[in-house]
Amino acid sequence: MADRMAFFTTPRAERARRDARERLGDGQEVYRPGSLLPMVGGQAGRCMDCGLPFCHSACPLGNLVPEWNRLVAESGTGGEPGAGADWQAAAARLLATNNFPEFTGRLCPAPCESACVLAIDGAAVTIKNVELAIADRAWEAGWDGPRPPERADGRRVAVIGSGPAGLAAAQQLTRAGHATTVYERADRAGGLLRYGIPPFRLEKHRLERRLDQLRAEGAAFRTGVWVGRDVPGEELRAGYDAVVVAVGATACRDLPVPGQGLSGVHQAMEYLTWANRVDEGDCPASPLSAEGRHVVIVGGGDTAADCLGTALRQRAASVTQLDINPRPPQRRASGQPWPVHPKVYRETTSHEESRAAEAGPRVFEAATVGFEPGPDGRLAAVRFAEAGPVDRSPRAGTERSLPAQLALLALGFTGPEPDRRLFAQLGLATGPEGTLARDDGFATATEGVFVAGDAGRGQSLIVWAIAEGRAVAAAVDRYLRGWTELPAPIRASARAFTV
C-alpha cells in the first residue's frame, strides 16, 4: 500500500532536462532520456487521492488522475522501486479518457496541476510527468496498439483537418465502426503538432506512430487536399453521411506599424513551418533561417518561445523577445485563486537555453512601434518603446532601436482562416468571436456538418482539441445512429476554470 504521508515526506521533483547548451546542438527533445521512469512511482505516491479531485475536473478530458496515480504509486513499505505498481491497469485508465497522452504528457501546460489540492499552499503532484511515463510505457509494452472496430456499420464520415481535434474525432469514429476519411491540405497530417510545435518539444516520430495506428484501425488520410479548393465542400456532403470541420484557428494577428511589409519581417508560423520542414528533410536549410542574424521576436506566448528555441538552434547572433505585457507575478495573485490556472511568470526550456547562451533579453512592457529598412531595403532594426500601464500604447520619449535582420511576429491568432469558398460550400458562419458557429452539441446550421477544435473554440490547447475531437465524435455517432456509447467529455460551451 502506498505511503499515505508521502505528500508530506516526498518533495515534488521535476523530470531532468539535458544541459541547455547540449540541447542547442541538436533538434532532439530537451528531457534526459530514461530520467522519468525511476522517479514516477515516488511522485505519484504524493497524490492524496482526494475525495473531490479537482485535478480531474480541471482536465478537459476528465483524465482519471488519482486512479492512475494510485496504480503506479510506489510501495511505501520499503519494497523495490515500482513494487506494487500496475502499469498496465494505469495505461488502461489513461487511454480510456485520452487518445494521445504522449502529446499531452509532453506539451500540456497542465491546468490539472494548478488545481491539485496540494497546490493550494504547496507543490502539486507532477501529474503531467506521471501521465507521460504511463503513456510511454504503454507504447513500449504494446498496450496501446491499434483497436480496429469489430464490424463496419457502412456509414461514412469526412473529417477536414488533421490536428489533434481532427485526429481524435477520426480515431473515435473509426473505432465506433464508421468509415472515416481525414482531409488535410498540408502534405503531411498532424496540424500544429506537425508544422507548429518544434521537434525539440515533440519529436515527429511520435506523431508518425499515432498516424500509423489510426491507419491500422481503418482511418483513411487524404493529404495535400484543400477542401473548398481541390474538393468542393458540397462533394463531401454528398459523398459522406457527416462532415466534421476541424480546420484550426491559424489566422495570425498582424502588427500594423510602419515597415511591417519589409523583407525580414515574418509571421512566426511561417518561420516555424519552415524549421519543421527542414527537420522533415524537405530542404537542407530554412529560407528564413536565423543563422548569424540578430533576431527580434514580438510576442510573449508559447509561439514566441518556440521561435526563440528554434532561432537559438539555428545559431542566431542574438535573440531579443519583446512582450507588450508586464512581467507576470512570480506566484499566484489574489485575483487568480486556486483552482484556476494562474498567469504567473514561467520560464520555458527555450528561455532557459537563451539564458545559458546569453542570447539576448526578454523585455516586458515593450510596445513595438516600427520596422526600419537598411540601405538594401531589407529589415535593419526594430523600434520599440515602453508600453503605457493602462492601454499599452508607446510612451513618448522612451523609443529605442534594436538591430535586427529577422523579426518574427508571434502575436496570437484571431480565429480560423477566412476561407470564403469553404464556408460558403458548407454553409458555415462565424460568430462574434470570429470562430465557426455551432450549437452546444457541435452541430452547425447545415444538416450533418459539425465543427470541432480551435475552429470552434479559438486558438487553445491540445488537451481541449482532443476533448473536442472526442465529444464531436460522440455527437456525430448519435446523429448517425440515434444513440451513442462514445464518451463526450465536454460540451462546446465548456471553458477552463475561471473566477
**Interaction with ligand FAD in 394-423: which residues (CB under 6 A)?**
419, 422
* Contact status: 453 vs ligand FAD (CB under 6 A): yes
Residue 395 vs 421, nearer CB to ligand FAD: 421
* Contact status: 108 vs ligand SF4 (CB under 6 A): yes
Q: Which does 419 bind (CB under 5 to 8 A by kind): ligand FAD, ligand SF4, none?
A: ligand FAD
**Interaction with ligand FAD in 66-125: which residues (CB under 6 A)?**
107-108
Residue 185 vs 362, nearer CB to ligand FAD: 185
- Contact by Cβ (8 Å): 124, 66: no
Q: Which does 226 bind (CB under 5 to 8 A by kind): ligand SF4, ligand FAD, none?
A: ligand FAD
CA distances from 427 to 227, 234, 446, 456 (A): 13, 10, 6, 14
Q: Which does 367 bind (CB under 5 to 8 A by kind): ligand FAD, ligand SF4, none?
A: none
Q: Which does 302 bind (CB under 5 to 8 A by kind): ligand SF4, ligand FAD, none?
A: ligand FAD
Q: Which amino acid is at 67?
A: E
Cell of 209: 506512430
* Contact status: 182 vs ligand FAD (CB under 6 A): no
* Contact status: 59 vs ligand SF4 (CB under 6 A): yes
Residue 56 vs 438, nearer CB to ligand SF4: 56
**Residue 471 region, left (φ>0) first, then alpha (ψ -120 to 50), else beta?**
alpha
Smallest distance, Å, CB 461 to ligand SF4? Answer: 8
Q: Which does 422 bind (CB under 5 to 8 A by kind): ligand SF4, ligand FAD, none?
A: ligand FAD
The half-sphere exposure of 269 on its side-chain side, counting CA atoms within 13 A, is 13
- Contact by Cβ (8 Å): 443, 89: no
CA–CA gap between residue 444 and residue 457 (Å, rounded): 14
CA–CA gap between residue 479 and residue 488 (Å, rounded): 14
- Contact by Cβ (8 Å): 53, 31: no
Cell of 157: 464520415
Q: Which does 306 bind (CB under 5 to 8 A by kind): ligand SF4, ligand FAD, none?
A: ligand FAD
Q: Which does 278 bind (CB under 5 to 8 A by kind): ligand SF4, ligand FAD, none?
A: none
Q: Which amino acid is at 321?
A: Q
Q: Which does 61 bind (CB under 5 to 8 A by kind): ligand SF4, ligand FAD, none?
A: ligand SF4
Pairing between β-strand 242-245 and β-strand 449-451 as defined by DSSP bridges: parallel
Residues 6+ apart with CB under 8 A from 79: none
* Contact status: 462 vs ligand FAD (CB under 6 A): yes
* Grid-cell match 477544435, residue found: 453
CA–CA gap between residue 154 and residue 240 (Å, rounded): 11
CA distances from 486 to 441, 467, 470, 472 (A): 14, 12, 8, 10
DSSP secondary structure, 323-338, as one string: -SSPPPPSS--TTS-T
Size of interface with ligand SF4, in residues (CB under 6 A)? 13
* Contact status: 169 vs ligand FAD (CB under 6 A): no
Smallest distance, Å, CB 7 to ligand SF4? Answer: 18
Contact footprint for ligand FAD (CB under 6 A): 107-108, 160-166, 183-186, 191-192, 196-197, 226-228, 246-248, 250, 272, 302-303, 306, 419, 422, 453-455, 459-463, 465
